[in-house]
Chains A and B, each alone.
Chain A
Amino acid sequence: EPEVTQTPSHQVTQMGQEVILRCVPISNHLYFYWYRQILGQKVEFLVSFYNNEISEKSEIFDDQFSVERPDGSNFTLKIRSTKLEDSAMYFCASRTDSYTGELFFGEGSRLTVL
């Protein structure tokens, strides 16, 4: 069964450092997303990406965040200068063009900012 894969599974970084989280969505999917879950809190929408551009972003997704799909298969989330409060589990998700209600999520990348 096709799946969304994410790397790394866990990254520890120092505050102020840049971090790139990588995702390989399911190959025939057209819509891509990043969500995050801070420990003990809800899963929150960060950004959606379609047709090589951001289609929607939340207020969390400020100038420190960026996304790109550099090579047609990978979908990356970059945090330019990490803050302590960026520590969370980051989930990549994707879906097809016809909405059947199903987002496929990856297993997540745990980011720990020290």
Chain B
Amino acid sequence: DQQVKQNSPSLSVQEGRISILNCDYTNSMFDYFLWYKKYPAEGPTFLISISSIKDKNEDGRFTVFLNKSAKHLSLHIVPSQPGDSAVYFCAATGAGGTSYGKLTFGQGTILTVHP
């Protein structure tokens, strides 16, 4: 099942710089996209989301961009901090109603932010 893909297994960034994590999807029925962050031995923690009617959503240091025509989204973290080091998952959902909680996850990208 490759409906949501994160092609970069890892990303290394210097503190203070921008981190850009990418995600591609194939299912045209997806209309809501989310980013989750996960530390070892913890559950995923919600970061930010975007509806398909928007192309950008911003929350503090985190911005998600959606390009529907390319079926691509990205998460920008500016400035990156060492505490941002974690696994980042892209997830998608759609079809409405009770199906909204049925998330399809990408494989995750390990972000390491060096001091």
| Chain A contacts to B: CB under 8 angstroms | 4, 31, 33, 35, 41-45, 48, 50, 55-56, 91, 93, 95, 99-108
Q: Nearest-CB distance from A49 to chain B (Å)?
A: 9
Q: Is the CB of B101 within 8 A of A48?
A: yes
Contacts of B45 in A (CB 8 A): 105
Q: A42-B107, A43-B89 are in contact. Are A104 and B46 (CB under 8 A)?
A: yes
A106 & B99 in contact (Cβ 8 Å cutoff)? no
Residues of chain A contacted by B107 (CB below 8 angstroms): 41-42
Instruction: Show 14 residue pairs from A and B whose CB-CB distance is below 8 angstroms, ordered by the A residue.
Output: A42-B106, A42-B107, A43-B44, A44-B105, A48-B99, A48-B101, A56-B102, A101-B34, A101-B51, A102-B34, A103-B34, A105-B36, A105-B43, A107-B41
Among B32, B43, B44: residue with most chain A CB under 10 A: B43
Closest A-chain residue to B43, C-beta based?
A: A105
Residues of A contacting B103 in the complex (Cβ-Cβ under 8 angstroms): 35, 43, 45, 103
Contact across chains for B105 and A43 when beta carbons are under 8 A apart: yes
- Considering only CB atoms, which chain B residue lies closest to A51 in the complex? B98
Determine if B102 and A45 form an interchain contact, defined as CB atoms under 8 angstroms apart.
yes
Tell me which residues across on chain A come within 8 A of B42, comparing CB atoms: 107-108
| Interface size grouping (class) on chain B | 20 to 34
* B52 CB, min distance to chain A CBs, angstroms: 12
When chains A and B are docked, how far (Å) is the Cα of A43 from the Cα of B45? Answer: 13
Interface residues of B in 12-49 (CB under 8 A from A): 32, 34, 36, 41-46, 49
Q: B104 within 8 Å of A by Cβ?
A: yes
Which residues in B have their C-beta under 8 angstroms from that of A4?
43
Q: Determine which of B36, B43, B100, B105 lies in contact with A99 in the assembled complex, contact meaning CB atoms within 8 Å.
A: B100
Do B46 and A48 have beta carbons less than 8 Å apart? Answer: no
| Cα A55 to Cα B102 with chains together (Å) | 10
- CB nearest to A35 among chain B residues: B103
Contact A101 B49, beta carbon cutoff 8 Å: yes
A93 CA to B89 CA in the complex, in Å?
A: 16
Q: A43-B103, A99-B100 are in contact. List 7 more A-B contacts (CB 8 A).
A: A43-B105, A93-B101, A99-B101, A101-B32, A102-B34, A105-B45, A108-B43
CB distance from A54 to the nearest CB of B (A): 10
